[in-house]
A = this chain, B = another copy of it.
């Protein structure tokens, strides 16, 4: 029935923005259970093909938006998943007041100190990712981890995994310092991921992940 729904939208039997028949009517027409219709319509809504509103019923999307789902794995597993040997080097660990932009993104009071970690992730011995992270020390608990042994990326995903937040993707030319650490030319195009996360109301971390040239984030759409 999914194929037939798509065919009707494509053929404009059901025009963009128009209401489609009720689940009950479709179940009757196709001779399937209403739960089957419901699942098919829900999937098409998740894909952006249909729009469902509580009172207005289901409509054909006026402007179809494609949606893609990205997996954001632990860096170690991502590198090992490519068949490469993973390496990790903590470059610096301090307690410091974060720059105003980061304090404000995390909703912190002026003067609050955070843990500041800089680390390099390696694949087959070559640096591939530079991590610059500000971390709320409250989340560490009594058994503070040794960030020389385990990356904050992995420790957080296994110990404080149920965070919410925002994530941004952009491109940036490598600064002189980044170029030196990543062993690339100054100005090389880096793929940058910025994440800010909370656990409920509590700010957890703000991190900048700068990937060396050659990195490609891929998914299905």
**Does A113 sit within 8 A of B, measured CB to CB?**
no
Main secondary structure of the interface of A (DSSP, over half): strand
* A68-B69, A157-B66 known; A190+B165 contact, CB < 8 A: no
For A6, A9, A49, A68, the residue with the greatest tally of chain B CB atoms inside 10 Å of its CB is: A68
B166 engages A219 (CB within 8 Å): yes
Complex: A197 Cα to B9 Cα, angstroms: 19
Known: A162-B6, A162-B10. A219 touches B167 (CB 8 A): yes
A189 — which chain B residues lie within 8 A by C-beta? 171-173, 189-190
Interface string of A34-61 (1 = CB under 8 A from B): 0000000000000011000000000000
Q: How far is the CA of A176 from the CA of B9 in the complex (A)?
A: 43
Q: How far is the CB of A208 from chain B (nearest CB, A)?
A: 13
Q: Tell me the A residues contacting B by CB distance below 8 Å.
A: 6, 9-10, 16, 48-49, 63-74, 77, 157-158, 160-162, 164-173, 187-192, 195, 197, 211, 213, 215-221
21 contacts between A and B (CB under 8 A): A63-B73, A63-B157, A65-B73, A68-B69, A68-B72, A69-B70, A72-B221, A164-B220, A166-B218, A166-B219, A166-B220, A167-B218, A168-B217, A169-B216, A169-B218, A170-B191, A171-B171, A171-B172, A171-B190, A189-B189, A197-B221
